[in-house]
């Protein structure tokens, strides 16, 4: 690769890729094309935690490492992380894959259910299949582009979860 210039567009592991390409003799141009910017409303997080104190969860599902770290960053800024950790200690916790697992274990959160490879929502649902959730409250994050936190009122199934971070009660 000597004499070549390689553009690295990756943001999350860009520095690592730059090092790898340079080891093969190429020059690099690191220009991250995208960045993940959490859309976290601190007051919605404060409100959600207050609601969860009043009406506890049966299950908390963590789908992404970025979202999990963003939630903890928000609770850190609000001085509410201890409250979040206490709430999670009293509920079952599911993680979709290695990234949310890493974010949770770095905060010493117990993980009760883990999805297996290829770590999709389907595998999350398989991992929690034996858990009775009808009438129970569940916390989840499914679509990172869905917007700010807002409550969902009784969707017809777990797969209908559609807000950025919300608690809901699955029905039959």
And the tokens for 99?
A: 């990234």
Spatial contact of 130 and 117, defined as CB atoms under 8 Å apart: no
Q: Classify each residue of 115-143 as buried b or exposed e, where b means 16 or more C-beta atoms within 10 Å of its C-beta.
A: beeebebebbbebbeeeebeebbbbbbbe
pLDDT, one tens digit for every residue, the chain (172 residues) = 999 999 999 887 889 999 999 999 999 999 988 877 777 888 899 999 999 999 999 999 999 998 899 899 999 999 999 999 999 999 999 999 999 999 999 999 999 999 999 999 899 999 999 999 988 999 986 444 443 333 333 333 333 333 345 555 565 5
The domains of the chain are located at 1-35, 42-168
Spatial contact of 141 and 124, defined as CB atoms under 8 Å apart: no
Query: Residue 159: which residues within 8 A CB-CB, separation 6 or more?
Result: 121, 125
What does the pLDDT read at residue 33?
A: 84
What does the pLDDT read at residue 145?
A: 41
Instruction: Tell me the CA distances in angstroms from 74 to 46, 66, 128, one per residue in order.
Output: 9, 12, 27
Q: Where is 20: in which H helix or E strand?
A: helix 14-23
Q: Alpha helices, DSSP H only, in 24-152? A: 42-54, 65-77, 81-89, 98-105, 121-127
| CATH no. for 42-168 | 3.40.50
Cα–Cα distance measured from residue 59 to residue 127, given in angstroms and rounded to the nearest whole number: 12
CB under 8 A, 24+ apart: contacts of 52-56: 52/87, 52/137, 52/139, 52/167, 53/83, 53/87, 55/137, 55/167, 56/87, 56/90, 56/91, 56/137
């Amino acid at each position: 690769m000597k004499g070549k210039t390689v553009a690295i567009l990756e943001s999350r592991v860009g520095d690592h890729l730059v090092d790898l390409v340079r080891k093969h003799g190429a020059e690099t141009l690191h220009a991250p094309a995208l960045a993940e910017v959490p859309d976290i409303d601190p007051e919605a997080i404060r409100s959600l935690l207050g609601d969860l104190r009043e009406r506890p969860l049966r299950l908390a599902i963590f789908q992404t490492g970025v979202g999990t770290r963003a939630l903890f960053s928000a609770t850190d800024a609000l001085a509410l992380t201890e409250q979040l950790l206490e709430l999670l200690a009293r509920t079952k916790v599911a993680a979709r894959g290695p990234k949310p697992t890493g974010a949770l274990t770095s905060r010493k959160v117990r993980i009760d259910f883990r999805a297996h490879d290829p770590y999709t929502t389907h595998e999350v649902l398989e991992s929690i299949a034996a858990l009775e959730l009808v009438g129970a409250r569940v916390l989840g994050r499914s679509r990172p582009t869905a917007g700010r936190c807002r409550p969902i009122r009784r969707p017809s199934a777990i797969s209908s979860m559609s807000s950025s971070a919300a608690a809901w009660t699955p029905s039959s």
